[in-house]
Every structure is written in C-alpha cells, then in structure tokens.
Amino acid sequence: MYPFFRKIATALFSGCLALSQAAYAQTTYPDKPIKIVVPYTAGASTDTLARIIGESVSKQLKQPVIIENKPGAAGIIASNYVKQQKPDGYTLMLTTDGIASVNPSLYKSVSYDPVQDFTSLTMAVSVSNALVVRNDSEFKTVGDVVDYAKKNPEKLSYGSAGVGSSLHIAGELLNDTEGIHILHVPYKGGAAEMNALLGGEVSMIYVPMVSALNFQSAGKARILGIGSKQRNPAVPEVPTFKEQGVDYDSDTWYGFAAPAGVDSAVVQVLHQAIKTALVDNKSRLEAMGFTVTASSPEEMDDTISAGLERWKPLLQKIDLYQKM
C-alpha cells in the first residue's frame, strides 16, 4: 500500500505545484516592458497591426509595449532572433503565413522550425490579397486578365513585394490555377510596386487589401478582384476571384508568437490580452481591410501545419522549392 500512497502524494504535489506556478505567473506577469518584433519595415501593414495591438495590450497589462522592426530576408532575420530569446513572455513576434508556412519550402537557409521553435499565441487577422491595375488599364475584370494571358502568352507581367512573398505566391497561384504565364517582377515593398505600376513597368500588381484600399481611395489604381472566399466589407462592391469564374484563394494571415517554451499561464495572459485588443479594435481594423480572426493558439498551430502542406507542392511545381 505504501508505494500506492506515495504515488498519489507525488501526483497531488505535482498538481499543486503546477497550479501554484500558474497562479504565480498570472499575478506577477508582466512586471517589465514587452517587446513585439516586427519582421518588416515601419509603415508596413504588419507594423500598423502590431502598433494598434501593442497600444491596447499595454493599457490592459499596464506595461509599455515596444515595437522593434527587424526587416530583411523575408522575415528570417527576425524569426532567428526571436527564437533565441528567453521564453519568458517579454519578447513576442508578429509573424505571417509567409514566414511560418512558405519560407521553410522556399529557402534552404531557414534555420527555424515554425512549429517547434515558437509558441503560438493567436492568428490575429486574415489578409486578402488584391489584384490591382492602373485606372486606365484595359482590364476590367480578373476574367479579362486570364483571357488575355491565354491568348497572349508571356505578354503580361505582375509586380510583388519580393520573391517568396505572399504576393509572389498569389501571382503564381493564379498562373497555376489557370494554366497561364504572367511574368513575375519583384520589388522592394508596396510603394515600389505601385510606382512601377504607375510608371508602366508592369501590367498589374498584387498587394494586401490594406494597401489596395489606400491606392484606390487616393485615385491611383483600381482593384480588379479579391483573392478571398468572401468579399471584403471595406469594399463590398469588389467581387472575389471566384465570383469572376476563377477558383482561387490566396488569403494570408498575420499572427503573434513567442519563443518556444513559454509558460502556459503566461501564454493565456498574452492570448487574452491580444484577443481583447483585436475585438476592441475590430471596426478600425476591418475598415483598413483586415478580417479579425483571433484564433486560439491551437488553431494557429493547425493553420501553420496546413500551410506547410499547402504551399510545398506549388513551390515544387514552379521550381522554387528551396531555391533561395
């Protein structure tokens, strides 16, 4: 009997210890500033989201939230930095579908595992990619683009924010889906893309909906279609690709993560704070073109795993698999 009771006592002690550690984390965390690392430049849509959420989280947790931009190498620099930080909940990262699901299949040099090296907090928003043309373009619909491309192979070109970006993948997904070839021309960011479009260097560009709305409202360009399953509330008059006869979904997402090994109680504090920030700012974010999702950490893990399986075959087909 004694070994039996010893096992019960050990189990009870372990359970009580876990509960006390969780309670301790919840009552003492955070007690210093929190840093959110953004893998893109200031002013990018990812940066905008991080600053909106950071401001709200700061008010909730009563600690400063510092935004640190670490752009470069398609998010690899920021990812490698964050994974090496202490898993204490004081260094977070704004991550994306491209960083978590595309990079491992695109770059040989990726030295992080998007599942094993990070603690998921929430898939915060989904982001529609939009196909944009100049105001004077002859193309009025996505169907017009596809029809022209089929009749005039390699005569059209599209711009993106760089090789391997979600916008590049969006363009190649249309090529693959419709059996066409529209030449890819990479640029260093959305502003450079738009300048190239206005200057006639490319026929069209792919940009996040956040940027597309800004370009269209400024009278610089027109949105032909949205690469989502549903129309975007910010521009309800613009149809999806599917509504225009193209079976296509190029939605991407932005989320928040931390280094692997963060205490579960701290994860819960951060998840709830970010979720509250997203809900409180939902109208503002959706007016900017984001769709608030505020997933659980488990749902974010599942989405990353599904993304890894989704994009690898396409990158292999277009001969980009681990070619960077």
In whole numbers, what is the pLDDT of the chain averaged over residues?
A: 89
pLDDT band at 4 (very low <50, low <70, confident <90, very high): very low
Which CATH number does the domain housing residue 213 bear? 3.40.190.10
Q: Is residue 19 part of a domain?
A: no
Tell me: pLDDT of 21 over 50.
no
Average pLDDT over residues 92-108: 92
Q: Is residue 208 part of a domain?
A: yes
User: What's the pLDDT at 311?
Assistant: 87
207: nearest Cα among 128, 130, 145 = 130
Q: Are residues 109 and 150 in the same domain?
A: no
Q: Are residues 111 and 142 in the same domain?
A: no
Average pLDDT over residues 121-139: 95
- Total number of domains constituting the chain: 2
Q: Is residue 103 part of a domain?
A: yes
Could you say which of 185, 216, 244 is where a domain stops?
A: 244
User: What's the pLDDT at 15?
Assistant: 46
Q: Is residue 323 part of a domain?
A: no
Does the pTM surpass 0.75? The reply is yes
- Portion of the chain with pLDDT greater than 90, in percent: 67
Higher pLDDT, 322 or 25: 322
Sheet holding 290-292, edge to edge: 65-69, 34-38, 91-96, 252-259, 118-127, 290-292
- Is residue 197 within 8 Å of residue 159, measured between CB atoms? yes
- Is residue 141 within 8 Å of residue 224, measured between CB atoms? yes
User: What's the pLDDT at 63?
Assistant: 98
What pairs with residue 120 in β-bridges?
A: 257
Q: Is residue 12 part of a domain?
A: no
Task: State the Cα–Cα distance between residues 57 and 67, nearest whole angstrom.
Answer: 12
Q: Is residue 233 part of a domain?
A: yes
Q: Is residue 14 part of a domain?
A: no
User: What's the pLDDT at 101?
Assistant: 92
The residue type found at 175 is N
What lies within 8 Å, CB to CB, of 274 at 6+ separation is 53, 57, 121, 122, 124, 256, 294
Q: How far is CA 261 from CA 87, 187, 273, 279, in A?
A: 6, 37, 19, 27
DSSP-derived letter for residue 102 is I
Dump pLDDT digits (tens) for 5-19: 454 545 444 444 444
Dump pLDDT digits (tens) for 277-313: 999 999 999 999 899 999 999 999 999 999 999 888 8
Q: Is residue 51 part of a domain?
A: yes
User: What's the pLDDT at 1?
Assistant: 45
Cα four-point dihedral sign 49, 52, 55, 56: negative
Q: Are residues 139 and 113 in the same domain?
A: no
Q: Are residues 174 and 275 in the same domain?
A: no
Which CATH number does the domain housing residue 287 bear? 3.40.190.150
Higher pLDDT, 74 or 155: 155
Q: Are residues 236 and 143 in the same domain?
A: yes
Dump pLDDT digits (tens) for 27-84: 699 999 999 999 988 888 899 999 999 999 999 999 999 999 999 888 999 999 999 9
Residue 41 lies in domain: 32-127+252-317
Tell me: pLDDT of 272 over 90.
yes
Q: Are residues 178 and 149 in the same domain?
A: yes
Could you say which of 182, 213, 244 is where a domain stops?
A: 244
pLDDT band at 322 (very low <50, low <70, confident <90, very high): low
User: What's the pLDDT at 81?
Assistant: 98
Could you say which of 186, 213, 244 is where a domain stops?
A: 244
For every residue of 234-270, DSSP letters joined together read TSTTSPBTGGGT------EEEEEEEETT--HHHHHHH
Q: Are residues 53 and 137 in the same domain?
A: no
Tell me: pLDDT of 26 over 60.
no
